[in-house]
Amino acid sequence: MNFFKKNKQISSKIDESSSEIYEKDQNYQDNAQFDIEDKEEKTTFFEKVRNGLTKTRKNISSKIDDVIISHRKVDEELFDELEEILITADVGIESSVKIIENLKIKVKKDKISDSKEIKELLKEEVKTLMLNSVDSNKLQIDPSPSLILIEGVNGVGKTTTIGKLAYTLKTGGKSVLLAAGDTFRAAAIDQLMSWGSKANVEVVSHQEGADPAAVIFDAIKKAKAKNIDVLICDTAGRLHNKTNLMNELNKIFRVVEREFPEAKKEILLVLDATTGQNAINQAKVFKEVSNITGAILTKLDGTAKGGIAIALQAELNLPIKLIGVGEGIEDLQPFDVDLFVESIFE
């Protein structure tokens, strides 16, 4: 698998303005819960996702209900109002237009005239679009060994997400090692060391300002020597332009490919849902410089802009692997399209 693009020179600047607003949110509490085996756990999983999407559900489902009630028949005005609701919920213009166009085709084909039937059809169109946009939303970490490289600008909850993910994997029976690859900020190293202590997971780190690729190199050597199941690597999010970002990541990728070719690899981009369309802009930048395999969408419980998950997956074909739906230890959940759509259209 090729994890970097060859000789691509890009010089335009990354817009990190919104991420700076969230610089103080580094202690945002997320966690992942992957193995859901019995009915009680499944119920808890559903409730966590449903409750975490309350603001988005009110922003989408409640407005759709109001529009449908005000229209006795299915007409162009109804479609226009539904499209506007989707766009204002950060579903994205491209995705919103496509969903409504497909809805029109379905309505015409099935000769539907009762507006009360529209919501269910709309829900199915959203679900179909998301499912058809990516191959899988499952985190690919089996069989061992595996390496997860975490990317994203500062302030999105990146380091905290790594710590919580490490804790969950460790409690789920996996051996885990962390690499403090964000050497630009001493705070990032200290924070990851703190999470490693909480999760009882070792952290490989160098001093502030060290070469990130050297940290990853040492972490890979240790992971192989100790037969670690999952190596999770942090990376810096402070780089100011695409060329530097590409060069830094390419150096890390070359080390990974050369030193750990046998490992299954996930390159995950952490995005803050509260930033809305700026999350799309950040994803576009990172997709240009890195072969991202998926996204982690944090802070969904704190925003009505949950529609951004639809735009990320449908417009950028970026699989969402995990979502943060609360501040608790079990609130970073695996992303499930069916459950997500049901939760926002309930």
Split at pLDDT 50, 70, 90, the class of 224 is very high
Percent of the chain with pLDDT over 90: 51
Q: How much is the pLDDT for 220?
A: 98
Say which CATH number the domain at 90 has. 1.20.120.140
The reply to whether 154 and 120 lie within a common domain is no
Domain membership of residue 240 (yes or no) is yes
State the angle between helix axes of 158-171 and 186-199 in degrees (0 to 180), rounded to the nearest 10: 20
pLDDT above 60: residue 341: yes
Which domain, by its residues, includes 91? 52-133
Number of domains in the chain: 2
The reply to whether 98 and 163 lie within a common domain is no
The residue type of 137 is: N
The reply to whether 119 and 27 lie within a common domain is no
Say which CATH number the domain at 331 has. 3.40.50.300
Q: Which of 133, 165, 199 is the last residue of a domain?
A: 133
Q: How far apart are CA 320 and CA 7, in angstroms?
A: 28
Q: Which of 66, 99, 133 is the last residue of a domain?
A: 133
Q: Which of 89, 117, 133 is the last residue of a domain?
A: 133
Q: How much is the pLDDT for 228?
A: 98
Domain membership of residue 146 (yes or no) is yes
pTM above 0.85, yes or no: no
The reply to whether 125 and 143 lie within a common domain is no
Contact 61, 345 (CB under 8 A): yes
Sign of CA dihedral 302, 273, 98, 50: negative
Q: What is the 3-class SS of 187-205, one letter each residue?
A: HHHHHHHHHHHHHCCEEEC
The reply to whether 289 and 203 lie within a common domain is yes
The reply to whether 76 and 199 lie within a common domain is no
Domain membership of residue 44 (yes or no) is no
The reply to whether 188 and 323 lie within a common domain is yes
pLDDT above 50: residue 3: no
Split at pLDDT 50, 70, 90, the class of 44 is low
The reply to whether 129 and 142 lie within a common domain is no
The reply to whether 128 and 143 lie within a common domain is no
Determine which of 142-146, 237-241, 253-257, 317-321 has the lowest per-residue pLDDT on average. 237-241
Q: How much is the pLDDT for 145?
A: 97
Domain membership of residue 6 (yes or no) is no
The reply to whether 233 and 266 lie within a common domain is yes
Domain membership of residue 179 (yes or no) is yes
The reply to whether 96 and 158 lie within a common domain is no
Residues 93-118: pLDDT tens digits? 999 999 999 999 999 999 988 888 89
Split at pLDDT 50, 70, 90, the class of 45 is low
Domain membership of residue 231 (yes or no) is yes
* Range picked from 52-56, 145-149, 272-276 for highest mean pLDDT: 145-149
